[in-house]
Structure 1
Amino acid sequence: MDKQTIKKIIKEKDIHTIRVEFPDLHGVSRNKSLPANRIDEIIEEGITSSQVVFAVMLNNDISEDSGVADEVSYSDMKIIPDLNTFTIVPYLDGTARMIGDIYVKDEPFAQSPRWLLKRVIKQYNELGLCPIAASELEFYIYRQGENGLEPYADSEGTLYTTSPRTDPLGIMSKLQSYLLEMGFDVLYYNNEYFAGQYEFNWKHSEALVQADQSFTFKNVCKELGYMHDLHFTFMGRPSNEAGGSGFHIHFSLDDLKTGVNCFEDTTDKYGMSALMRHFIAGQIRHAEGMTAFLAPTTNSYKRFMRDAFAPYFIGWGLDNRTTYIRVPDERGKATRVELRAACASANPYLALATALISGLDGIKKKLDPGEPFLGDLYRENEGHYKNVPLSLYRSLKNLEKDEVLNDAIGSPLINNFLSMKTAEVEAYRTNVTDWEVDYYSYHM
């Protein structure tokens, strides 16, 4: 989209406010709103913000050794909007938004998740490949009850249904309408396995577009919930009674010139190309390290359980939901890899970038994933497959040792992420929980 088209839309739709957004390390939307009559200035000069926002933890503390706080005198960065992300926000009066790219001293900001993904995509493009991705995001909706938050709908046992019983206020229908207006190619939505749990799907696209849409989707959900006195959460597992919420990511690689899916090979017994096998092998090779980005909170690891349709062991299979990587049955244009390890709380840009980095390493080194696992990997692995890291602490240690991921991501982002998440682990370790009091206090 160009500037003149944007200005025409602003005039025709009576837009009075422009919001410029950018994702932080958590994937949270940070933003500023400006009068739409400043659109030329917004496009040319962007907005400024302190770099320290990339050191802000989820409890609002400032992470130590972030590289973006006192180390740089809390200096500014500039966010220049990407015109291709312009869209009207249908639930806010007279408001449009754009996602921005971050610069410091006219250079791409080294800690920007969006820049990281763009760098990785460029490496694929140099090989004549275009990464394609699709998101499946699960989440819970809660409402305020007499004793605190309770599931929005008493929908236990209504898996794969849509009805007033599972969505009494029609929130999911509203969400669908808003997303369609914002340019999403919506496929479907449904109630998931547990009470108040839902999943939303939209069509695959180029990887950067898909990351932008996943980022947008989560923020739209948060804002829509607030406007209706509801609480949307993408926590990995928000309660003991609830199951996990995943962020299943589908990948394929198209030929940059022809658009042909390079993952299909009709001569192969599984219909899979050597390129696809190498891509899978790279993700398997780096699974232990990249899990820190796919499951970025201490809560994320409460999702990794046997028989929970989340990975417990690191293996791959054909249309097998017990594995870390699943290859759906479809072939032709739909030939693809599904990475099932990501938690719904993951930053979409970091999740896609690290998965693509891992796949690219497999391609460059022509790694072999071996034969697909057949059966129930939860029960039949016989010690041949490694566990998924079962804590954030272990994932961070694995990330520290993964030279490929460290080199590709870069030390500024890696060091800040490790520092922030190590502090989070320590805060969790020293916090006394209700479970501990209930379990130990009477007897000990």
Structure 2
Amino acid sequence: MDESTELPPSSPVADTTPVTSSSSRTETAALSPRQVRSVADAKRIVEARGLTHIKVGLFDNDGVMRGKYMSREKFFSALDKGFAFCDVVLGWDIQDQLYDNAHYTGWHTGYPDAPVRILPHTCREVPFEDGMLLFLAEFEGAAEAVCPRALLRRVIQRCEQAGFTPYAALEYEFFVFDETPDTARAKGYRDLKPFTPGWFGYSMIRNSVHADLYHEILALAERMDFPIEGLHTETGPGVLEAAITVDNAEAAADKAALFKTFIKVLAERRGLMATFMAKWSNEYPGQSGHIHLSLRNRNDDTSAFYAEGEPHSMSATQRHFLAGQQRLMPELLCMVAPTINSYRRMIPGFWAPTDATWGVENRTAALRVIPGGDKSQRQEYRLGAADANPYLALAVALGSGLYGVEQGWAPGKAVEGNAYEDQHPEELALPRTLWDAAQRLKQSEAARDLFGDAFVDHFAASREWEEREFRKHIGDWELQRYFEII
């Protein structure tokens, strides 16, 4: 469930487009991290803070942040000329195990360094580290074809070339536990103690008793520029939901990826743990990562989705966009549901869609149209789970919709009432396993058009690897069912 508000026509945050000069500012002017736009700005703020080292990070296939501290001299050189990062981070899984089926990189290539560019406009302060700065980076060269952040950037550029500016807001549910990485491992991830007990959604008691944690989360989000529009308890023990404030699509993905990373950091610094698993227990609902999207016309900054007087205020563009999302959802599913665990969530009655359906203000559908005015007409991609890589999930939600606009597709019939109880056309059925979803992605002509052959082949291979790793292990259910009797 979610309570996201309208998407404004422009971001309240400064434009994230890098510029090449800071000549309009004096050298002595104070510069905050989110004012950094250029290489010159980045050098100036590092010098002003007297930093000897700077944090640089990027995101792998699974949306996990990888990075390191870099000396000031090395950082300045990297700003000017780029730097090299071992491409193994695009060739291993979430447990650092090496894919044996990838063509881009592997033992056959020797895992060479790949060129990387630092993005000055992504500068953030790290609140826990006494003035430390963090910059995001992105792969270049051949690695750019399989880099998740670069993939989203290319989809956004395609959207802009079609005459639209995309805006997005992501929201996440996450469970918090009164555990540490050591205690969770010692317990075998069984019988973990939630931060709070019971089912108590939207609880004023919980957020008042534990106001210090809520305030820390809100303050962290403000300082690192992924401001939270709403934060509340959800249904289940220890579960929270945060709606991140809207921004242009690229910035929205950066904010979501940083949110997931640093919520975990904050929790562990407090002796807690936060998980964004799609479903950690059969007893409780899964954890969503819903995406709100809208397009604005670049020529006059009006909503491309809003049409006064039309049914549900939907323009032809929004209907085509909706149709693209609906028709391509089964083909692109493994980019939105990328883990074995993702498919535990997609069962009837637990707030997660099971077919590619749409409805107007209907939270049982995979796509929810939200009527409004010029500033608020949008739709919600409800299929997304908390475990998805934000860059890839947003690339799917935006790219599939844009593809529908390009093709002039029309959506199917809207769902009314409970989508779980209706019978839907076979072509709207979603794959039920990660393996099946990977096969659909490999066979998708639209995916190859939108994302390129290199990315499709690489990511599908990584999901096949994930499925094979799962099959190597014998679970508790198998032992309990077969050990004595069979």
TM-score when scaled to structure 1? Answer: 0.94
The answer to whether residue 328 in structure 2 is matched with residue 286 in structure 1 is yes
Shift of 1:228: 2.0
Code of the aligned partner of 1:33: Y
Partner Cα distance (2:98, 2:109) in 1: 14
CA 1:297–1:317: 2 relative to 1, 3 Å: same
Shift of 1:258: 2.6
Indicate the SS of the match to 1:72: coil
- Of 299, 304, 329, which residue of structure 2 is paired with 1:262? 304
Shift of 1:92: 2.1
Shift of 1:242: 2.8
The answer to whether residue 231 in structure 2 is matched with residue 194 in structure 1 is no
**Matches for 1:82-97 after TM superposition, within 5 Å:** 82-97=119-134
Question: In the alignment, what sits opposite 2:288?
Answer: 246
Q: Is the 8 A contact 2:354 2:366 kept in 1?
A: yes
Question: In the alignment, what sits opposite 2:314?
Answer: 272
Question: In the alignment, what sits opposite 2:195?
Answer: 153
**Matches for 1:128-147 after TM superposition, within 5 Å:** 128-144=163-179
**Matches for 1:55-70 after TM superposition, within 5 Å:** 55-66=91-102, 67-70=104-107
CA 1:160–1:385: 2 relative to 1, 3 Å: farther
Indicate the SS of the match to 1:270: helix
Question: In the alignment, what sits opposite 1:23?
Answer: 59
- Of 448, 457, 465, which residue of structure 2 is paired with 1:415? 457
Q: Is the 8 A contact 2:278 2:387 kept in 1?
A: yes
CA 1:165–1:241: 2 relative to 1, 3 Å: farther
Q: Is the 8 A contact 2:38 2:120 kept in 1?
A: yes
Q: Which runs of 5+ in 1 are unaligned?
A: none
Segment drifting more, 369-378 vs 381-390: 381-390
Code of the aligned partner of 1:41: S
Partner Cα distance (1:207, 1:376) in 2: 31
Question: In the alignment, what sits opposite 1:315?
Answer: 357
Segment drifting more, 278-287 vs 350-359: 350-359
Q: Is the 8 A contact 1:64 1:420 kept in 2?
A: no
Partner Cα distance (2:110, 2:480) in 1: 46
Q: Is the 8 A contact 1:164 1:170 kept in 2?
A: no
Indicate the SS of the match to 1:130: strand
The answer to whether residue 419 in structure 2 is matched with residue 377 in structure 1 is yes
Code of the aligned partner of 2:397: A
Partner Cα distance (2:51, 2:284) in 1: 41
**Matches for 1:35-434 after TM superposition, within 5 Å:** 35-36=71-72, 38-66=74-102, 67-104=104-141, 109-144=144-179, 150-164=192-206, 168=210, 170-381=212-423, 386-434=428-476
Alpha-carbon RMSD: 2.1
- More strand by proportion, 1 or 2? 1
Partner Cα distance (1:32, 1:377) in 2: 46
Partner Cα distance (1:166, 1:196) in 2: 14
Q: Percent identity?
A: 28
Code of the aligned partner of 1:34: M
Partner Cα distance (1:47, 1:163) in 2: 50
Q: Which runs of 5+ in 2 are unaligned?
A: 1-36
**CA distances 1:228-272 after superposition (whole Å, capped 9, x unpaired):** 222211111012233200110011111123321110000212100
CA 1:253–1:132: 2 relative to 1, 3 Å: same
Shift of 1:415: 1.7
**CA distances 1:136-161 after superposition (whole Å, capped 9, x unpaired):** 11111122279556243234221012
**CA distances 1:282-304 after superposition (whole Å, capped 9, x unpaired):** 01111111110100001000000
Partner Cα distance (1:132, 1:77) in 2: 31
TM-score when scaled to structure 2? Answer: 0.86
CA 1:442–1:163: 2 relative to 1, 3 Å: same
CA 1:49–1:160: 2 relative to 1, 3 Å: same
Indicate the SS of the match to 2:192: strand
Q: Is the 8 A contact 1:136 1:247 kept in 2?
A: yes
Q: Is the 8 A contact 1:293 1:351 kept in 2?
A: yes
CA 1:119–1:387: 2 relative to 1, 3 Å: same
Q: How many pairs were matched up?
A: 442
Partner Cα distance (1:314, 1:430) in 2: 31
Q: Is the 8 A contact 2:330 2:428 kept in 1?
A: no
Shift of 1:317: 0.2
Code of the aligned partner of 1:254: R
Shift of 1:336: 0.5
**CA distances 1:71-128 after superposition (whole Å, capped 9, x unpaired):** 4332111221111101111122331111112123xx6621111111111111111121
Partner Cα distance (1:149, 1:98) in 2: 38
Shift of 1:406: 2.1
Partner Cα distance (2:395, 2:41) in 1: 31
Segment drifting more, 155-164 vs 197-206: 155-164
Shift of 1:37: 5.5
